[in-house]
Amino acid sequence: MAFWRYAGRRGLHTAVTLLLLVGFMFVLFRMIPGDPTTMMLGTGELPAEAQQRLRVLWGLDRPLWQQFIAYALNLLQGNLGMSFYFRRPVSEVIAPMLANTVLLMAPVVILAIVIGVAGGSWLGWRRGGRAEEIGAVLALIPRALPVFWTGIVLLALFAYQFRWFPIGGIREAFFFPENWWQRLPFFDITRHLVLPVATGVLASVADPLMIQRTALLEVRHEDFMVLARARGLSGRAQRRLARRNAILPVLTYSAIMVGFAFGGQVLLEVVFNWPGIGRLMVDSVTQRDYPVAQAAFLMMAAVVVFLNLLVDLAYGWLDPRIRGG
C-alpha cells in the first residue's frame, strides 16, 4: 500500500510537470516575432490581402488563452494539429523524423553503456595506477567539450580532410555501388551514421564509465570479494564477479541516459544535417510552424519526464525508505 501511495504521488507530480511544460512551450513559441502568415508573405507565397483570412482559418486571430484551450483539448484527444508549413497532419510529419532519431540515438546509448561498463571496470580494477589516471582524464575530456565542437572536428578531419565518410545527411541521393560490400543492405545509411554516432558516444560515455568505476571500487572491498580471494579464484574470475555486481548503478542510470540522449540530440542532428526530430524542431521554429515545433518539443520532454518517473518508481520499489519519505 505504501508503494502505491508513493506511485500516486509521483504520478501526480509527473502530470503537473507535463501540464506546466505544455503551457510553457505554448507561450514560448508564440513569443517569437511574427507568425506563419508573415513568413509566407516574405517569400511571396501569400498575397497580403489573404493574410488575415489565413490567420482566421488557423485560429491565430483569437486571444492566446483561447488558442491554448483549443490546443489542450486537441492534445487530450491525441490530435497534434495540422502543420502550417507542410499542410499535413503533424503526426505524419513527425513519425519518419522520430524513426530517424531512434536510428541515430539507439547505437549511441548502447555503445556508450557497453564501452562505459567495460572501460569503467578496467579502470576500477587498476585503482591508483598510471593507466587509471590517464584513462579517467581521456574519458572526461570529450564530456567537457561541446558536442557540436566535437562533431565539427570529426567532420573536418574524417569527412573533409580524409574523405572517409559523408559530410552529413542520412543517405546520398545518387549512390552507385562500386563493389560487393557497397551493395550490402544499409551500407549507405551505416556510413552516414559513423561520425554522428562516434560524436554522441564520445560525449556520453564518461558518465557510465565513471559510475561503473566508482561502483567497482566499492564492490572490491565487499565481503563476498574477500571470500572470493580467500577461495583462490583467479583474477579474471574476480573481475567478472565484481563487474557483475557493480553494473547495477549503471543499469539504473541507463534509463535517465536514454531520456537525456533523446532530448539532447538537437545539436548532433543540426551539425550532421541528420533528418531527425531535433532538426525538425529547429526548422519548425524558423518557419513559425507552431504545431510541429510544439509536438517535437513535447515529445522529447515527455520521454525525459516519463523515464525519470520509471526510475523513481523503480527506486521506490527497491528501497522502502524512499517511498516512506
State whether 17 and 135 are in the same domain. Answer: no
174: left (phi over 0), alpha (psi -120 to 50) or beta: beta
Closest CA to 37 of 65, 23, 56, 21: 56
Question: Is residue 58 within 8 Å of residue 36, measured between CB atoms?
Answer: yes
Q: Quick one: angle between helices 2-30 and 64-76, nearest 10? A: 140
Alpha-carbon distance of 9 to 302, in angstroms, equals 18
Give φ, ψ of 89 to 5 degrees: -60, 145
166: left (phi over 0), alpha (psi -120 to 50) or beta: beta
What is the Cβ-side half-sphere exposure of residue 309, based on CA atoms within 13 angstroms? 19
State whether 103 and 237 are in the same domain. Answer: yes
State whether 137 and 262 are in the same domain. Answer: yes
Alpha-carbon distance of 35 to 259, in angstroms, equals 31
State whether 48 and 128 are in the same domain. Answer: no
Neighbouring CB atoms inside 10 A of 22's CB total 19
Domains: count for the chain: 2
Q: What is the mean pLDDT of each run of 10 residues along the chain (325 residues)?
A: 76 85 78 63 56 64 75 78 80 85 87 85 72 76 83 87 81 62 69 88 85 77 67 70 72 74 74 84 80 82 80 69 58
State whether 108 and 194 are in the same domain. Answer: yes
Which residues form the domain of 282?
94-286
State the chain's maximal CA–CA distance in angstroms.
88
The residues facing 82 across adjacent strands are 89
Provide the CATH number for the domain around residue 191. 1.10.3720.10
pLDDT recorded at residue 117? 83
Closest CA to 296 of 285, 308, 286, 311: 285
Alpha-carbon distance of 24 to 35, in angstroms, equals 18
Write down the pTM of the prediction: 0.74
pLDDT recorded at residue 223? 65
**Per-residue cell: 249:** 548503478
Closest CA to 258 of 296, 199, 207: 207
State whether 137 and 273 are in the same domain. Answer: yes
pLDDT recorded at residue 109? 87
State whether 78 and 5 are in the same domain. Answer: yes
pLDDT recorded at residue 91? 84
State whether 275 and 301 are in the same domain. Answer: no
**Per-residue cell: 68:** 491554448
State whether 148 and 238 are in the same domain. Answer: yes
State whether 275 and 168 are in the same domain. Answer: yes
State whether 106 and 231 are in the same domain. Answer: yes
Alpha-carbon distance of 298 to 98, in angstroms, equals 13
> pLDDT digit string (tens) for 210-262?
888 877 777 766 666 666 667 776 767 767 777 777 777 777 777 777 776 76
How far does CA 116 lie from the centroid of its chain?
Answer: 17
State whether 134 and 269 are in the same domain. Answer: yes
